[in-house]
């Protein structure tokens, strides 16, 4: 006798596969073990002191507008001041001064913005009226997969460990069944950004298709060379939606502040419509705080970015010679995302017989070093697979499924661990301990 369930088949079948507790845990204690070196989670700490934030938040809550904002719904656009401040900020980063408040939609974090874009621009799997049912995603990546699949769309996944691999894969794989081409730059975890020439190639590749470019640029301030982000401003303005948030800019993931920006006002209105259907509106109080930070406290964001870059450079210098222990670091690029560093561990794993997850567990258990195994940044292995075939040189989904892998995906996939420079301020000591973990593991 089959077990009864009050859930839909989709929810029941994917309850465990897409459960984000594996990434964020259950209840948070909001503290870090001082005996461990925290190079794992992508949060920010030990940069702006608590007293500074207490003062900023206390001062903001003296704003007389808060009572009316907290006791009423916002308009469909959100808050004018917040939208205008965000347009000026992102427009300045991209070299796009024409962006204004009318081109902005507020969200509850960047993740929520991705969800809204997928719902607006990708049809559910099996739709009869629209074949655009997939998001083209480079992997490894921040785990967008639960967001995409719970929107009932599919993931078309390929491997890209560099900007060139990303661009060449978009050129080879974009097709009429893709509704969103997702680009995260500066990239988490591999760190790449795009050049102006690569941006032009992406524009040419997607020109024949009715897909949007969703550009997750939440690490824009963390490129080792800050000007590197400007190339993204050259993406086709009619189809490009930029996503930014405050989690990495100011180190405020708990506030859940995010925005989508696009020059195409029809796209923007569709995003507003779906956001209103989801939650009526983003909190007016949060949006006023966003405007307050952008207008009065950008120095905090800039100081944070400088400290993240310093930590990145200290760590890289301290692990020089790590290749001796079967670890490969990407070549240093001035345009790299300083927030993260991927460390490829194929030779170490081949020598020891460990998996990336087992090596990460050993780093913590034996050495007190927290790193993130890269297995989390590929699609969950237990999602059903579809198939991709070539039709007169054009890739097409021959068998639908929540996940479609590009040809050669398994052979190209590389094991790695990712280190983050957001929380751990004792970077030199952390690097020494990690080197010890690699050396002693390699010698097993």
d(CA 309, CA 226) in angstroms, rounded, equals 10
Q: Model-level pTM?
A: 0.97
Confidence of residue 81 (pLDDT cuts 50, 70, 90): very high
- Distance, in Å, from the CA atom of 213 to the CA atom of 230, rounded to the nearest integer, reads 16
- pLDDT (tens digit, 9 = 90+) per residue, 282-295? 999 999 999 999 99
pLDDT tens digits along 101-139: 999 999 999 999 999 999 999 999 999 999 999 999 999
pLDDT (tens digit per residue) in 323-372 = 999 999 999 888 899 999 999 999 999 999 999 999 999 999 999 999 99
Helix (H) or strand (E) holding 241: strand 240-245
Structure confidence by residue, pLDDT tens digits, 17-35: 888 777 777 898 888 899 9
SS3 at position 92: helix
Whether 9-50+300-442 and 64-296 share one fold: the answer is: no
Residue 149 makes CB contacts below 8 A (sequence gap 6+) with 14, 18, 155, 383, 402
Question: What's the pLDDT score for residue 40?
Answer: 93
Tokens 């465990």 belong to residue? 16
Who contacts 60 (Cβ-Cβ below 8 Å, separation ≥6)? 288, 289, 292
Pairing of strands 134-139, 154-159: parallel
Strands 240-245 and 258-261 turn out to be antiparallel
Task: At 65, list the tokens.
Answer: 């507008």
Given CATH 3.90.1150.10, say whether it is the number of domain 9-50+300-442: yes
pLDDT at 26: 86
pLDDT at 148 over 60: yes
The answer to whether residue 321 scores a pLDDT higher than 80 is: yes
> Which residues pair with residue 387 across a beta bridge?
399
Residue 13: per-residue pLDDT:
86
User: What average pLDDT does range 393-418 have in this prediction?
Assistant: 95
Closest CA to 18 of 373, 374, 356, 384: 384
DSSP 161: S
Structure tokens at 200: 């032009």
Q: Where are the beta strands (DSSP E) in 37-177?
A: 37-38, 104-107, 134-139, 154-159
Question: What residue spans define the domains of the chain?
Answer: 9-50+300-442, 64-296
Mean pLDDT, all residues of the chain: 95
Domain spanning 64-296, CATH class: alpha beta
pLDDT at residue 2, as a whole number: 63
For tokens 């993406």, the residue is: 235
Q: Which pLDDT belongs to residue 25? A: 78
- What dihedral do alpha carbons 334, 338, 342, 343 form, nearest 10°? 80
Element (H, E) at 390: strand 387-391
Question: In sequence order, what are the beta bridge partners of 369?
Answer: 37
């Amino acid at each position: 006798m089959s077990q009864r369930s009050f859930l839909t088949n989709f929810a029941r079948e994917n309850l465990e596969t897409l459960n984000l507790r594996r990434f964020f845990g259950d209840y948070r204690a909001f503290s870090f073990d001082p005996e461990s070196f925290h190079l794992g989670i992508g949060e920010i700490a030990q940069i702006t002191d608590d007293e500074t934030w207490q003062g900023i938040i206390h001062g903001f809550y003296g704003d007389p507008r808060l009572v009316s904002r907290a006791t009423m719904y916002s308009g469909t656009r959100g808050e004018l001041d917040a939208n205008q401040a965000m347009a000026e900020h992102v427009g300045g980063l991209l070299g796009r001064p024409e962006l204004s408040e009318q081109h902005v939609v507020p969200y509850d974090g960047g993740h929520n913005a991705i969800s809204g874009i997928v719902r607006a621009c990708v049809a559910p799997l099996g739709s009869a009226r629209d074949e655009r049912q997939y998001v083209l995603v480079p992997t490894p990546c921040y785990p967008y997969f639960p967001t995409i699949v719970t929107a009932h769309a599919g993931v078309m996944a390929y491997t890209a460990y560099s900007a060139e691999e990303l661009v060449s894969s978009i050129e080879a794989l974009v097709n009429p069944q893709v509704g969103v081409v997702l680009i995260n730059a500066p990239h988490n975890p591999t760190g790449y950004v795009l050049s102006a020439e690569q941006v032009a190639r992406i524009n040419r590749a997607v020109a024949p298709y009715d897909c949007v470019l969703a550009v997750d640029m939440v690490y824009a301030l963390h490129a080792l060379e800050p000007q590197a982000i400007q190339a993204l401003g050259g993406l086709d303005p009619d189809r490009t939606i930029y996503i930014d948030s405050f989690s990495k800019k100011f180190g405020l993931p708990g506030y859940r502040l995010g925005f989508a920006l696009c020059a195409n006002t029809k796209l923007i209105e569709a995003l507003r419509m779906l956001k209103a259907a989801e939650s009526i509106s983003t909190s007016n109080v949060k949006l006023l705080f966003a405007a307050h930070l952008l207008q009065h406290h950008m120095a905090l964001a800039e100081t944070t970015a400088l400290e993240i870059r310093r930590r990145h450079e200290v760590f890289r210098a301290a692990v020089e010679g790590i290749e001796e222990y079967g670890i490969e670091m990407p070549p240093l690029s001035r345009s790299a995302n300083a927030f993260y560093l991927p460390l490829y561990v194929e030779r170490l794993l081949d020598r020891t017989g460990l998996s990336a997850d087992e090596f990460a567990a050993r780093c913590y258990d034996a050495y007190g070093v927290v790193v993130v195994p890269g297995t989390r940044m590929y699609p969950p292995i237990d999602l059903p697979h579809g198939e991709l075939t070539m039709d007169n040189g054009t890739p097409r989904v021959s068998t639908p499924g929540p996940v479609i892998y590009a040809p050669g995906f398994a052979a190209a996939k590389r094991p790695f661990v990712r280190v983050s420079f957001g929380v751990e301020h004792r970077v030199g000591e952390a690097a020494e301990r990690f080197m010890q973990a690699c050396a002693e593991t390699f010698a097993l």
